[in-house]
Protein backbone atom coordinates (compact mmCIF):
# COMPACT_ATOMS: atom_id res chain seq x y z
CA UNK A 1 0.00 0.00 0.00
CA UNK A 2 1.39 3.39 -1.00
CA UNK A 3 1.72 6.09 1.65
CA UNK A 4 2.22 9.70 0.59
CA UNK A 5 2.85 8.56 -2.98
CA UNK A 6 5.82 6.36 -1.96
CA UNK A 7 6.25 2.61 -2.32
CA UNK A 8 9.04 0.07 -2.57
CA UNK A 9 10.09 -3.21 -4.16
CA UNK A 10 12.76 -5.84 -3.69
CA UNK A 11 16.12 -4.92 -5.24
CA UNK A 12 16.92 -7.06 -8.30
CA UNK A 13 19.63 -7.00 -10.96
CA UNK A 14 18.89 -5.25 -14.23
CA UNK A 15 17.80 -1.87 -15.49
CA UNK A 16 21.10 -0.19 -14.62
CA UNK A 17 22.12 3.08 -16.24
CA UNK A 18 25.28 2.77 -18.32
CA UNK A 19 27.35 5.94 -18.78
CA UNK A 20 30.79 5.28 -20.28
CA UNK A 21 33.29 8.14 -20.48
CA UNK A 22 36.34 8.11 -22.77
CA UNK A 23 38.88 10.88 -22.29
CA UNK A 24 42.11 11.54 -24.11
CA UNK A 25 44.12 13.99 -26.19
CA UNK A 26 44.24 13.93 -29.98
CA UNK A 27 45.22 10.62 -31.62
CA UNK A 28 44.24 8.56 -28.61
CA UNK A 29 41.44 6.70 -30.41
CA UNK A 30 38.36 8.09 -28.63
CA UNK A 31 35.93 8.20 -31.56
CA UNK A 32 36.90 4.84 -33.02
CA UNK A 33 36.86 3.19 -29.58
CA UNK A 34 33.45 4.67 -28.76
CA UNK A 35 32.01 3.24 -31.97
CA UNK A 36 33.55 -0.17 -31.28
CA UNK A 37 32.01 -0.26 -27.81
CA UNK A 38 28.70 1.04 -29.16
CA UNK A 39 28.63 -1.71 -31.80
CA UNK A 40 29.00 -4.30 -29.05
CA UNK A 41 26.27 -2.64 -27.00
CA UNK A 42 23.67 -2.72 -29.80
CA UNK A 43 24.41 -6.40 -30.42
CA UNK A 44 22.64 -6.87 -27.05
CA UNK A 45 20.16 -3.98 -26.93
CA UNK A 46 19.20 -3.86 -30.58
CA UNK A 47 18.42 -0.51 -32.20
CA UNK A 48 20.74 1.97 -33.89
CA UNK A 49 23.84 3.78 -32.73
CA UNK A 50 23.14 7.52 -32.64
CA UNK A 51 26.24 9.74 -32.73
CA UNK A 52 25.92 13.39 -31.70
CA UNK A 53 28.92 14.88 -33.52
CA UNK A 54 30.13 18.28 -32.27
CA UNK A 55 33.43 18.05 -34.16
CA UNK A 56 32.35 19.34 -37.58
CA UNK A 57 31.27 15.90 -38.88
CA UNK A 58 34.52 14.19 -37.85
CA UNK A 59 32.58 11.03 -36.95
CA UNK A 60 31.70 10.56 -40.61
CA UNK A 61 35.31 9.51 -41.20
CA UNK A 62 34.27 6.16 -39.72
CA UNK A 63 31.08 5.69 -41.75
CA UNK A 64 32.77 2.92 -43.76
CA UNK A 65 33.76 1.07 -40.58
CA UNK A 66 30.57 1.28 -38.56
CA UNK A 67 26.82 1.57 -39.08
CA UNK A 68 25.36 4.55 -37.18
CA UNK A 69 22.96 7.45 -37.38
CA UNK A 70 24.73 10.81 -37.53
CA UNK A 71 23.46 13.95 -35.76
CA UNK A 72 25.44 17.02 -36.81
CA UNK A 73 25.78 19.43 -33.86
CA UNK A 74 27.09 22.88 -34.83
CA UNK A 75 27.65 25.84 -32.45
CA UNK A 76 26.54 27.33 -30.17
CA UNK A 77 27.44 24.56 -27.73
CA UNK A 78 25.14 25.56 -24.90
CA UNK A 79 23.92 23.11 -22.27
CA UNK A 80 20.39 23.63 -23.53
CA UNK A 81 21.33 22.58 -27.06
CA UNK A 82 23.18 19.52 -25.77
CA UNK A 83 20.04 18.51 -23.91
CA UNK A 84 17.91 19.14 -27.00
CA UNK A 85 20.20 16.95 -29.12
CA UNK A 86 20.12 14.13 -26.59
CA UNK A 87 16.33 14.40 -26.26
CA UNK A 88 16.03 14.12 -30.05
CA UNK A 89 18.08 10.91 -30.03
CA UNK A 90 16.14 9.42 -27.12
CA UNK A 91 12.90 9.97 -29.03
CA UNK A 92 14.27 7.83 -31.88
CA UNK A 93 14.52 4.85 -29.49
CA UNK A 94 18.25 4.19 -30.08
CA UNK A 95 20.26 1.24 -28.86
CA UNK A 96 23.01 3.57 -27.61
CA UNK A 97 23.83 7.28 -27.82
CA UNK A 98 27.40 8.50 -28.38
CA UNK A 99 28.23 12.15 -27.66
CA UNK A 100 31.44 13.03 -29.48
CA UNK A 101 32.33 15.14 -27.66
CA UNK A 102 31.24 16.78 -24.39
CA UNK A 103 34.23 19.11 -24.06
CA UNK A 104 32.63 21.74 -26.28
CA UNK A 105 29.95 22.28 -23.62
CA UNK A 106 32.74 23.66 -21.45
CA UNK A 107 35.25 25.31 -23.79
CA UNK A 108 33.42 25.62 -27.12
CA UNK A 109 31.61 28.47 -28.83
CA UNK A 110 28.70 29.31 -26.53
CA UNK A 111 29.95 26.88 -23.88
CA UNK A 112 30.16 27.29 -20.14
CA UNK A 113 33.33 29.41 -20.02
CA UNK A 114 32.07 31.82 -22.66
CA UNK A 115 28.68 32.04 -20.98
CA UNK A 116 30.22 32.83 -17.60
CA UNK A 117 32.35 35.61 -19.12
CA UNK A 118 29.31 37.17 -20.77
CA UNK A 119 27.18 37.02 -17.62
CA UNK A 120 29.99 38.49 -15.50
CA UNK A 121 30.32 41.44 -17.86
CA UNK A 122 26.55 42.01 -17.86
CA UNK A 123 26.37 41.90 -14.05
CA UNK A 124 29.34 44.24 -13.75
CA UNK A 125 27.59 46.83 -15.89
CA UNK A 126 24.24 46.32 -14.15
CA UNK A 127 25.60 46.50 -10.60
CA UNK A 128 28.25 49.13 -11.44
CA UNK A 129 31.00 47.12 -9.74
CA UNK A 130 34.38 45.79 -10.93
CA UNK A 131 34.03 42.68 -13.02
CA UNK A 132 35.92 40.48 -10.55
CA UNK A 133 33.17 41.17 -7.98
CA UNK A 134 30.65 39.35 -10.17
CA UNK A 135 32.60 36.13 -10.77
CA UNK A 136 30.76 33.81 -8.40
CA UNK A 137 27.32 35.18 -9.18
CA UNK A 138 28.06 34.70 -12.88
CA UNK A 139 29.16 31.09 -12.32
CA UNK A 140 25.97 30.37 -10.37
CA UNK A 141 23.84 31.57 -13.29
CA UNK A 142 25.99 29.92 -15.96
CA UNK A 143 25.84 26.49 -14.30
CA UNK A 144 22.04 26.39 -14.02
CA UNK A 145 21.35 24.93 -17.50
CA UNK A 146 24.20 22.43 -17.07
CA UNK A 147 22.65 21.14 -13.84
CA UNK A 148 19.40 20.52 -15.72
CA UNK A 149 21.31 18.68 -18.46
CA UNK A 150 23.00 16.42 -15.92
CA UNK A 151 19.68 15.72 -14.19
CA UNK A 152 18.15 14.74 -17.53
CA UNK A 153 21.07 12.53 -18.58
CA UNK A 154 21.04 10.57 -15.31
CA UNK A 155 17.45 9.52 -16.03
CA UNK A 156 17.93 8.27 -19.58
CA UNK A 157 17.46 4.51 -19.85
CA UNK A 158 19.50 3.98 -23.01
CA UNK A 159 23.26 3.39 -22.67
CA UNK A 160 25.37 6.46 -23.39
CA UNK A 161 29.02 6.99 -24.29
CA UNK A 162 30.65 10.40 -23.77
CA UNK A 163 33.94 11.41 -25.35
CA UNK A 164 36.07 14.11 -23.73
CA UNK A 165 39.22 15.81 -24.83
CA UNK A 166 41.88 15.66 -22.13
CA UNK A 167 44.64 17.97 -20.97
CA UNK A 168 47.98 17.35 -19.32
CA UNK A 169 48.17 17.28 -15.54
CA UNK A 170 51.48 18.53 -14.24
CA UNK A 171 53.09 19.02 -10.87
CA UNK A 172 56.02 21.18 -9.79
CA UNK A 173 58.59 19.22 -7.78
CA UNK A 174 61.30 20.97 -5.78
CA UNK A 175 64.62 19.23 -6.36
CA UNK A 176 67.41 18.97 -3.75
CA UNK A 177 69.25 21.86 -5.42
CA UNK A 178 66.22 24.10 -4.86
CA UNK A 179 65.20 24.23 -8.51
CA UNK A 180 61.70 23.23 -9.58
CA UNK A 181 60.99 20.48 -12.09
CA UNK A 182 57.77 20.04 -14.07
CA UNK A 183 56.52 16.46 -13.83
CA UNK A 184 53.76 15.06 -16.05
CA UNK A 185 51.29 13.02 -13.95
CA UNK A 186 48.75 12.04 -16.58
CA UNK A 187 45.64 13.46 -18.22
CA UNK A 188 42.31 14.76 -17.00
CA UNK A 189 39.10 15.11 -19.05
CA UNK A 190 38.11 18.64 -20.09
CA UNK A 191 34.50 19.20 -19.10
CA UNK A 192 32.28 21.20 -16.80
CA UNK A 193 33.47 20.56 -13.25
CA UNK A 194 32.46 17.17 -11.86
CA UNK A 195 30.48 16.06 -14.94
CA UNK A 196 32.89 13.13 -15.26
CA UNK A 197 31.63 11.94 -11.84
CA UNK A 198 28.38 10.92 -13.54
CA UNK A 199 30.20 8.25 -15.56
CA UNK A 200 29.90 4.55 -14.67
CA UNK A 201 33.54 4.41 -15.80
CA UNK A 202 35.92 7.15 -16.92
CA UNK A 203 38.61 5.61 -19.13
CA UNK A 204 41.67 7.72 -19.98
CA UNK A 205 43.34 7.00 -23.33
CA UNK A 206 46.91 8.32 -23.70
CA UNK A 207 48.18 9.60 -27.08
CA UNK A 208 48.73 6.87 -29.68
CA UNK A 209 47.26 4.27 -27.32
CA UNK A 210 44.95 2.85 -30.02
CA UNK A 211 42.06 2.88 -27.57
CA UNK A 212 43.83 1.15 -24.67
CA UNK A 213 42.90 2.75 -21.31
CA UNK A 214 45.62 3.77 -18.88
CA UNK A 215 45.51 1.53 -15.79
CA UNK A 216 46.68 4.25 -13.43
CA UNK A 217 44.47 7.12 -14.55
CA UNK A 218 41.16 5.43 -15.39
CA UNK A 219 38.37 5.48 -12.81
CA UNK A 220 35.90 2.57 -12.69
CA UNK A 221 33.06 2.03 -10.26
CA UNK A 222 33.18 -1.22 -8.32
CA UNK A 223 30.53 -3.21 -10.24
CA UNK A 224 32.34 -2.70 -13.56
CA UNK A 225 35.88 -3.55 -12.49
CA UNK A 226 35.56 -7.15 -13.62
CA UNK A 227 33.90 -6.19 -16.93
CA UNK A 228 36.27 -3.50 -18.18
CA UNK A 229 39.69 -5.08 -18.65
CA UNK A 230 42.20 -2.27 -18.30
CA UNK A 231 45.29 -2.69 -20.41
CA UNK A 232 43.22 -4.13 -23.26
CA UNK A 233 41.81 -2.24 -26.24
CA UNK A 234 38.23 -1.03 -26.01
CA UNK A 235 36.35 -3.26 -28.43
CA UNK A 236 33.00 -4.77 -29.33
CA UNK A 237 33.38 -7.51 -26.74
CA UNK A 238 33.72 -4.94 -23.96
CA UNK A 239 30.62 -3.14 -25.22
CA UNK A 240 28.69 -6.39 -25.22
CA UNK A 241 29.74 -7.17 -21.64
CA UNK A 242 28.71 -3.67 -20.53
CA UNK A 243 25.27 -4.01 -22.16
CA UNK A 244 24.72 -7.43 -20.59
CA UNK A 245 25.71 -6.02 -17.20
CA UNK A 246 23.22 -3.16 -17.61
CA UNK A 247 20.48 -5.70 -18.35
CA UNK A 248 21.44 -7.78 -15.33
CA UNK A 249 22.90 -10.69 -17.28
CA UNK A 250 26.42 -10.46 -15.86
CA UNK A 251 27.33 -10.91 -12.21
CA UNK A 252 30.43 -9.02 -11.21
CA UNK A 253 32.17 -11.65 -9.12
CA UNK A 254 35.53 -11.72 -10.86
CA UNK A 255 38.58 -10.06 -9.33
CA UNK A 256 39.22 -6.43 -10.19
CA UNK A 257 41.64 -5.55 -12.97
CA UNK A 258 42.58 -2.31 -11.19
CA UNK A 259 46.03 -2.61 -9.61
CA UNK A 260 46.35 -2.05 -5.87
CA UNK A 261 48.69 0.70 -4.64
CA UNK A 262 52.25 -0.49 -4.29
CA UNK A 263 53.75 -0.11 -0.85
CA UNK A 264 56.05 2.89 -0.67
CA UNK A 265 54.71 4.39 -3.91
CA UNK A 266 51.38 6.04 -3.03
CA UNK A 267 52.04 9.50 -4.43
CA UNK A 268 50.94 9.05 -8.07
CA UNK A 269 47.62 7.47 -7.13
CA UNK A 270 46.93 10.04 -4.42
CA UNK A 271 47.62 12.86 -6.86
CA UNK A 272 45.30 11.31 -9.44
CA UNK A 273 42.42 10.89 -7.02
CA UNK A 274 42.95 14.34 -5.51
CA UNK A 275 43.01 16.09 -8.88
CA UNK A 276 39.87 14.26 -10.02
CA UNK A 277 38.00 15.67 -7.04
CA UNK A 278 37.80 12.62 -4.78
CA UNK A 279 37.19 13.43 -1.12
CA UNK A 280 40.48 13.74 0.75
CA UNK A 281 41.29 14.45 4.38
CA UNK A 282 43.40 17.56 4.52
CA UNK A 283 43.90 18.90 8.06
CA UNK A 284 45.70 21.92 6.63
CA UNK A 285 42.42 23.14 5.11
CA UNK A 286 39.16 22.35 6.86
CA UNK A 287 38.67 18.60 6.97
CA UNK A 288 37.02 16.19 4.58
CA UNK A 289 35.68 17.68 1.39
CA UNK A 290 36.00 17.17 -2.38
CA UNK A 291 38.72 19.06 -4.18
CA UNK A 292 39.39 19.44 -7.89
CA UNK A 293 42.69 21.23 -7.45
CA UNK A 294 44.95 21.57 -4.46
CA UNK A 295 45.49 25.32 -4.54
CA UNK A 296 45.15 25.74 -0.77
CA UNK A 297 47.67 22.97 -0.18
CA UNK A 298 49.87 24.28 -3.01
CA UNK A 299 51.33 20.89 -3.94
CA UNK A 300 49.86 17.61 -2.77
CA UNK A 301 53.29 16.30 -1.79
CA UNK A 302 53.54 19.19 0.69
CA UNK A 303 50.16 18.53 2.29
CA UNK A 304 50.60 17.05 5.77
CA UNK A 305 47.72 14.65 5.11
CA UNK A 306 50.17 12.56 3.10
CA UNK A 307 53.31 12.90 5.18
Whether residue 119 lies inside any domain: the answer is yes
Q: Are residues 57 and 188 in the same domain?
A: yes
Is the pTM higher than 0.85? The answer reads no
The predicted structure's pLDDT at residue 81? 97
Strands (E), the chain: 19-24, 49-53, 69-72, 96-100, 160-174, 180-189, 201-204, 219-220, 279-282, 287-290
Higher pLDDT, 276 or 265: 265
In a domain? residue 104: yes
Tell me how many domains the chain contains: 2
Q: The domain that contains 171 carries what CATH number?
A: 3.40.50
**299 and 225 within one domain:** no
User: What Å distances lie between residue 232 and 6, 161, 204, 212, 281, CA to CA?
Assistant: 44, 18, 12, 5, 33
CA dihedral 105, 108, 109, 110 (to 10 degrees): 30
pLDDT of 291 over the 70 cut: no
Q: Are strands 180-189 and 160-174 parallel, antiparallel or unpaired?
A: antiparallel
Whole-angstrom distance, CA of residue 65 vs CA of residue 274: 39
C-beta separation of 23 from 203 below 8 A: yes
Q: What is the DSSP letter of 76?
A: P
Q: Taking residues 127-132, what's their average pLDDT?
A: 92
Per-residue model confidence as pLDDT tens digits over 76-106: 999 999 999 999 999 999 999 999 999 999 9
Is 13 part of any domain?
no
Q: What is the pLDDT of residue 20?
A: 97
Instruction: Give yes or no for residue 184 having a pLDDT over 80.
Output: no
Alpha carbons 19 and 203: distance in angstroms, whole number: 11
Q: Is pLDDT at 295 greater than 50 in this prediction?
A: no
Residue 271 confidence class, pLDDT cut points 50, 70, 90 = very low
- What pLDDT sits at residue 113? 94
Quick: pLDDT tens for 202-251.
999 999 999 999 988 899 988 888 899 888 999 999 999 999 999 886 66
Residues in the chain: 307
Task: List the beta bridge partners of residue 51.
Answer: 70, 98
Averaged confidence pLDDT in the chain: 82
**Residue 250 · residue 51 · CB < 8 Å:** no
Contact yes or no for 58/286 (Cβ under 8 A): no
pLDDT of residue 10: 85
Residue 55 domain-assigned (yes or no): yes
Amino acid sequence: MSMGGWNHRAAILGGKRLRLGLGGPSRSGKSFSALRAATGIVSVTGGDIFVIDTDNEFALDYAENFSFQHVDFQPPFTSERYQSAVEYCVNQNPGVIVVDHMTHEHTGDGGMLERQEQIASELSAKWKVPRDKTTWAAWAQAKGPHAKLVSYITRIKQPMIFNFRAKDKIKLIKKPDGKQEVVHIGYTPICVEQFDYEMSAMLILPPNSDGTPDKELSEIRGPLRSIIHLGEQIDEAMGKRLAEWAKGGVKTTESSSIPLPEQGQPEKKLIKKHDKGMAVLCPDIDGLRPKTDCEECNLLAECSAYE
